[in-house]
Structure 1
Amino acid sequence: MSVRTDSKPAQATATPVAARLAGRWSRVSWVDAAVAAAVLVILYVVLRAGHGTTVAFNTHHNLRVDTDPARLPYDAARSLLRMFAALALSIVFTFAYAYAAAKSRRLERILIPALDILQSVPVLGFLTVAVTGFIALFPGSLLGLECASVFAIFTSQAWNMTFGFYYSLTSLPRELDELSRSFGFTRWMRFWKVEAPAGVIALVWNGMMSFGGGWFFLVASEAISVNNQQYALPGIGSYAGAAIADGDLGKVGWAILAMAVMVIGVNILFWRPLTAWAEKFKNEQSEASEVQHSVVLDLLRRSHWPRLLGRPLRPVGRWLGVAGRVFGRDDRALSVDRTRQRTGDLVFAVIAGGLILWGLVDLALYLHDRTGLGVFGQPLLLGLATLARVVVLVALATVVWVPIGVKIGFSPRLTRIAQPLVQLLASFPANFLFPLAVWFFLKTGLSINIGGTLLMALGAQWYILFNAIAGAMAIPSDLREAMDDLGVTGWQRWRRLIIPGIFPYYVTGGITASGGAWNASIVSEVVTFGGTALTATGLGAYIAEATEHGDYPHLLAGVAVMSLYVVGLNRLLWRRLYRLAEARYSL
């Protein structure tokens, strides 16, 4: 008995599948091939650089850095890996911390002052604790030092981004707020559909500035000196630190060249696409006549890979949206029990105040047993000298960089030219310029007490410039065009449009520039090259010396006094300007 089989149905079924596959492959272009190759190269570099983070490590031996220029590509990859790991942590921290502070009045009273203190604590202060903790967490492995270095870079990035996103949440346009509530958005939908997009421009530009701040403290994060013990990780920062210590100008030049290549490359491949993409989140009713462009972003938009890779993540987004409904709609209660609210505020204040008081008493007892409370006298006096430098720096940076930032932000063409240059200048660690600074100070007879202000400016003035650019870019194009139509120019244009438009961003830049200047004083008030060392009179030099010698009582006293100065300045000046910005200068 024979069975006759008909192959036509099978062919009919297979033909559409084959046609679809053939159609998909026919749409694969050279753009898809280039994007795929770039992703594979990035993955290879990450795996190759990440492999060296888990090697064995003995804490009893000082690590030395190989300053052979041939190792610079590998060192650059290790530094980039740390920088992007710290940036990822900073973004997660920013979303969680800023959202909690903006949405809870009780938490805001604790979190925002705490953020003032955190940004005032020097990177070396965090690093001293982090090294000991992470080495104990990963004994016998270099991963402990790697985590400590990433954490130190994180502390130089996170605060600026958090301040910027917090203000974006608190100054959300009222019509967007009402629209989201009328549509019954859940808190999750409201965050991703309304609040996060409203803060994208500020977050991108502050993220770019924070990334530059990470570069600035790269030497301190990779070449660690704690308690007379030297720890060094492979990276551009430690390479430059070793070359500076040896007084080798040739190798310092190689480090500067490698840093410039990295900064420009990261700007072209990462930050410029992000700033061009962020243009679509501007709050305006008419499209600007001239917008930013990025070749990398254009290639990604033409490629099929982002859409193909995004399909598996769609169920995750839907699941998070469903999970967000557990918290219900984001409606404010129509009636509030004032007595119950005041009781809750009182209980919260008592608990928080009790914890803070306990910490202060414990710190005072620790210092009293070891040095006596008179240890605060010297840093309080030295802090006045550093405070004078900070005030002069912020004032000069405001006068110089706000007009330049507005000019750049108003012109996409100028932004494309200026962005990589500004990013390069903002990212250069002051340590890289120490050889030139020592030569210049000795040649001209300029005191380090004055020259230290110039070195501090390398790490602080850019916060004002970047926020001025972001503020100018966020001003709706239709408002600018209306001013042009009305013929409003000169000081009237600044008073009626530009100053109100950029003021909230300037306040964010000012408060982070002030904190950044205090932090930068640690590496700017002590300048060394080879066997020559110049030390300024100031709180930064006091903390740097205490850190190098492992003098924890004096280190704690210096950090506490610096926190006191920063918090006091923020409370007396910047917080009042914040409230003014919220009340009068929100779109």
Structure 2
Amino acid sequence: MQLTMKKGHFILAIILFLISVISAFYFFDYIDFPELVSLPYYAASSLLRMSAAYLFALCFALSYGYVAATNTRARKVMLPVLDILQSVPILGFFPAAVLFFIGIIPGRPGVEVAAVFLIFTSMAWNMAFGVYESLTTIPKELIEAADSFVVRGWQRLESLTLPACVPKLVYNSIVSWSAGWFFLVASEIISAGSGTYKLPGLGSFLIDTTYSGKIALMLIGLSVLIIIILLLELFIWRPMQSWADKYNYEYAGEKRPGEFILKTKAIKQVFRFIFDVFSNITVSLYILFHGHKIIKSALKFSGLLILFLGLAYIMYDFVISIVKLLLNLPTDAYSIPLAIVYSFLRLSAAYIICTLWTVPAAVYIVKNKKASSYLMPLMEVAASIPAIALFPAMVVIFIKYGSLDIAAVILILLGMQWYLLFNLIAGVRSIPKDIDNAATSFGVKGKLYWKKVLLPAMFPSFITGSITAWGGGWNTLIVAEYITYKGQEYHLFGIGYLLDKATFESPNSSMVLLSVLSMSLTIVFLNKLIWQPAYRKALVKYKFD
């Protein structure tokens, strides 16, 4: 088993450098050893929570995305709901986490389940959009070929549906893990009303050391987090990306070069085994449910019953809450419309900057394999760094000597850009080789190549990435508009600040509900006005057929 110098050694060099930094902090007495004893336990705890949340998110994404892509009537409801869910800040899920998990399951197990649920909310929506896009952009020729060979039922699921999801799902999984790390802090310290629940982990370690001003300890915790991310990149994501290339649409008969970090067939065989097992389980369940009408009818009836009861309970609770709110509106409620306008302007500024650099960057990364092997791990690390780790720099550079608005836009940009970048990279990589070959044969280069090939090919992924990027941006408002460092509070007026204030500063569940509800209505309006028409255009005009 040998490492390639260009890829594996570069990542290993970063890991060794970070270990050297940690050792230097300890050697020069910046920290005491007892403060580091629990770090491996914290790292393992956070990694287990992330893994559990990812498994649930993967199952949710495949089932939700499949139904939304194949059922036209359900799609009209499911896509707006998904857009709202992925845009609701993680603080908006705190009451649900406390009520349904901590309230039902006593003690630490309930808090653990609540934390996994909160991490799930930062992972699942992006992956579901990826599955939906994958299934709605399957080339027409493949669908017609499957129909002509009467490939239906379980065989169609195994040979067309699941493989079509793999490339996009791999890239969106990387983004979802990055988002999970980004919001790990909020997931391991859960506040609702007067209650606060804290779990041991890297997220809670980072927030404790940052708020207390222990910068050396915070940097060590951050270094441990980066080491974990790089190890995942080395042994999981890079091999998965190379394996996923097998399922890209290629008509020219050319085989993509492998991009494995390790020159061994073992890792590829592991991923093939995992996919085969998952595929066989899915197909077996499909055969079982569709082969027995009684089971199928019972599951359908029980599913509808559970859905009806759940919706009835939610509507009852929602109506009661709204009536209470209307009878006694909080004082801050009247400032919500203006707060949304301010936040929207910051989001728009961040999105423009995000678009300007991610589009050319995605093309450069895909077209330049050498640069990609260095840049991809660095970007995955950057995407995973929790915003709280940047608070000291933000306070020193922008707040004390600059503008808090600039700091807020930068933090929002960090919460948006990676969704768009990784989706665009997947979009460029999905360009069939024969399209590129045809462009080369006809001498299509420069601006014409961008106009006729790159931009049309990227457009569906650009829309998906934009939807998830705005969702990430709404989420990031809770850390961009309200910063606490060394006991000092810095805030900007906006919906994120109002939500933070109602959650932490002066707990007010009515204000939390109003803030989330107002944000959701804004998102529905944007979805109807911009994203749904843009997505329809992407499917009709910019699909490879």
Q: Tell me the TM-score normalized by structure 1.
A: 0.79
In 2: Cα distance, 1:353 partner to 1:256 partner: 41
After TM superposition, the structure 1 = structure 2 runs for residues 193-232 of structure 1, keeping only pairs within 5 Å, are 193-232=159-198
> Secondary structure of 2:484's match?
strand
The answer as to whether partners of 1:186 and 1:327 remain within 8 angstroms in 2 is no
Tell me what 2:36 maps to: 69
Query: What root-mean-square deviation, in Å, do the aligned CA atoms of Structure 1 and Structure 2 show?
Result: 2.9
Tell me what 2:27 maps to: none
One-letter amino acid of the counterpart of residue 473, structure 2: A
In 1: Cα distance, 2:460 partner to 2:273 partner: 39
Q: Determine whether 1:387 maps to 2:354.
A: no
One-letter amino acid of the counterpart of residue 172, structure 1: I
Q: Residues 237, 355 of structure 1: CA spacing in aligned structure 2 closer, same or farther, 3 A cutoff? A: closer
> Secondary structure of 1:295's match?
coil
Tell me what 1:240 maps to: 206
Which string of whole-angstrom CA distances, capped at 9 and with x for unpartnered residues, describes residues 445-467 of structure 1?
x2222320101111111111111
For residue 364 of structure 1, the aligned residue among 299, 322, 334 is 322
Tell me what 2:101 maps to: 134
Q: Residues 498, 324 of structure 1: CA spacing in aligned structure 2 closer, same or farther, 3 A cutoff? A: farther
Q: Residues 563, 478 of structure 1: CA spacing in aligned structure 2 closer, same or farther, 3 A cutoff? A: same
Q: Tell me the TM-score normalized by structure 2.
A: 0.85
Tell me what 1:85 maps to: 52
One-letter amino acid of the counterpart of residue 199, structure 2: L
For residue 482 of structure 2, the aligned residue among 496, 505, 526 is 526
Which string of whole-angstrom CA distances, capped at 9 and with x for unpartnered residues, describes residues 20-48 of structure 1?
xxxxxxxxxx99xxxxxxxxxxxxxxxxx
Tell me what 1:118 maps to: 85
Q: Percent identity?
A: 35
> Secondary structure of 1:137's match?
coil
After TM superposition, the structure 1 = structure 2 runs for residues 284-433 of structure 1, keeping only pairs within 5 Å, are 284-288=250-254, 291-296=257-262, 298-300=264-266, 319-320=284-285, 322-323=287-288, 326=291, 361-371=319-329, 376-433=333-390
Q: Residues 135, 77 of structure 1: CA spacing in aligned structure 2 closer, same or farther, 3 A cutoff? A: same
In 1: Cα distance, 2:277 partner to 2:472 partner: 41
The answer as to whether partners of 2:126 and 2:468 remain within 8 angstroms in 1 is yes
Q: How many corresponding residue pairs?
A: 499
For residue 104 of structure 1, the aligned residue among 45, 53, 71 is 71
For residue 514 of structure 2, the aligned residue among 551, 557, 575 is 557
Which string of whole-angstrom CA distances, capped at 9 and with x for unpartnered residues, describes residues 364-416 of structure 1?
313113327x8643111101011001111111111111110111123333322
One-letter amino acid of the counterpart of residue 323, structure 1: L
In 2: Cα distance, 1:230 partner to 1:210 partner: 26
Q: Residues 178, 356 of structure 1: CA spacing in aligned structure 2 closer, same or farther, 3 A cutoff? A: farther
Structure 2 unaligned regions, length at least 5:
3-32, 294-308
Q: Residues 418, 273 of structure 1: CA spacing in aligned structure 2 closer, same or farther, 3 A cutoff? A: same
Q: Residues 557, 82 of structure 1: CA spacing in aligned structure 2 closer, same or farther, 3 A cutoff? A: same
The answer as to whether partners of 2:94 and 2:191 remain within 8 angstroms in 1 is no
Q: Residues 190, 412 of structure 1: CA spacing in aligned structure 2 closer, same or farther, 3 A cutoff? A: farther
The answer as to whether partners of 2:239 and 2:267 remain within 8 angstroms in 1 is no
The answer as to whether partners of 2:68 and 2:78 remain within 8 angstroms in 1 is yes
> Secondary structure of 1:397's match?
helix
Which string of whole-angstrom CA distances, capped at 9 and with x for unpartnered residues, describes residues 134-178 of structure 1?
122221x31111111111011011111111211221222112212
Bigger drift between 123-132 and 245-254 goes to 123-132
The structure that has the greater radius of gyration is: 1
Tell me what 2:439 maps to: 483
Tell me what 2:468 maps to: 512
In 2: Cα distance, 1:398 partner to 1:311 partner: 37
- CA shift, 1:354, in A, is 10
> Secondary structure of 1:91's match?
helix
In 2: Cα distance, 1:199 partner to 1:314 partner: 12
Tell me what 1:584 maps to: 541
